[in-house]
Structure 1
């Protein structure tokens, strides 16, 4: 059975990195300078985190949700 995992990603404008975390994968914290690098890092780290999970999940489906905050001034 495939287990869905939602990855919450946000852009940190001060550090200039994407930060990814997930309530579905406790312990997942990734920082990367690009969107693709962040996805690659999550895919590299997640299998090790899931091995520590007592539920024995073997196959997952990842959904990435992005968040960024922008200021917009009236013209």
Structure 2
């Protein structure tokens, strides 16, 4: 099964990091110094967050 999830990513000029959040994945808040690192971190934590959300 495929699920579409919208990830909102933005660059924080003050902190010099990318920040990713998602209303589709409650609890997703990732910070990383590069775009690639942010994507990798989202991919690492997203499955666990979605599993936790499905248990509710």
TM-score where L is the length of structure 2: 0.92
Structure having the higher helix fraction is 2
- Structure with greater strand share of residues: 1
Which position in structure 2 is the counterpart of 1:62? none
Please state whether the residue corresponding to 2:53 is helix, strand or coil.
coil
TM-score (norm 1): 0.70
- CA RMSD in angstroms comes to 1.1
Tell me: higher relative CO, structure 1 or 2? Use CA pairs within 8 A at least 6 residues apart. Answer: 1
* Structure 1 residue runs without a partner (length 5+): 56-75
Q: Report how many residues are paired.
A: 55
Q: Does 1:5 align with 2:21?
A: no
Displacement of 1:54: 2.2
Structure exhibiting the larger radius of gyration computed from Cα positions = 1
Report the counterpart of residue 28 of structure 2 in structure 1: 28
